[in-house]
Amino acid sequence: MSNILAREHNVSEIIISEDKLKNRIQELGKQITNDYKNKKLLVIGVLKGCFVFMADLIREINLPCEIDFMYITSYNKNTISSGVINIVKDLSIDISGYDLLIIEDILDTGLTLETLCTLLQTRKPNSMKICTLLDKPSRRKSNIYADYVGFVIEDNFVIGYGLDYAEEYRNLPYIGIYNQNT
């Protein structure tokens, strides 16, 4: 995508192109396929930001799997997490006996995932791992880490490929740094 078009979408810099996203997701799919052979895989998407990544990722997992979603908020139309976790939509199935793979768009402070993992562990899954498209370790405030990471990024507010600012820009086919000065 041209820099002119990126500027029209309030993107100051494209940091992960469509091609890089596709290639890395194929690699993650192969790794997850190998790791979850002979397991009862339930892929749980943390909405809303994960939906593009999760859709592409599950098509790269060459195993039977079930999916479900949770909708958790912590940003409330800001560029910094409020730290207050709100579960808007819970899972629709009993997860006991499943091997969970939690899909997240971005692992930032880790507070959301820490709260989520603590909650899900009480529901007695066989195992639980985290797959995040983006990891921003410089912002970590909890002791949680992803088992599968698409890309490690610097401390910038990013949009595109499911990630938003105030519910906009999720449809961009790349990951870009949001230009907050427009």
Domains and CATH numbers, the chain: 3-178 (3.40.50.2020)
pLDDT at 41: 98
pLDDT at 1: 46
pLDDT at 112: 82
Regions of the chain short of the pLDDT cut 70: 1-9, 74-84, 182
- Predicted TM-score of the model (pTM): 0.89
pLDDT at 180: 77
Strand order of the β-sheet with 66-73 is 86-89, 66-73, 41-47, 99-107, 127-135, 148-152
Identify the active-site residue in 56, 105, 108, 135. Answer: 108
- Residues 146-171: tens digit of each pLDDT: 999 999 999 999 999 999 988 889 99
Q: Is 132 within 8 Å of 150 (Cβ atoms)?
A: yes
Token couple for 47: 């909405």
Whether residue 108 lies in the annotated active site: yes
pLDDT at 86: 80
Judge residue 4's burial from the number of C-beta atoms within 10 Å of its C-beta, 0-12 exposed, 13-18 middle, 19 or more buried: exposed
Query: Which of 100-125 are b and which e, b meaning 16 or more Cβ less than 10 Å from the residue's Cβ?
Result: bbbbbbbbbbbbbbebbbeebeeeeb
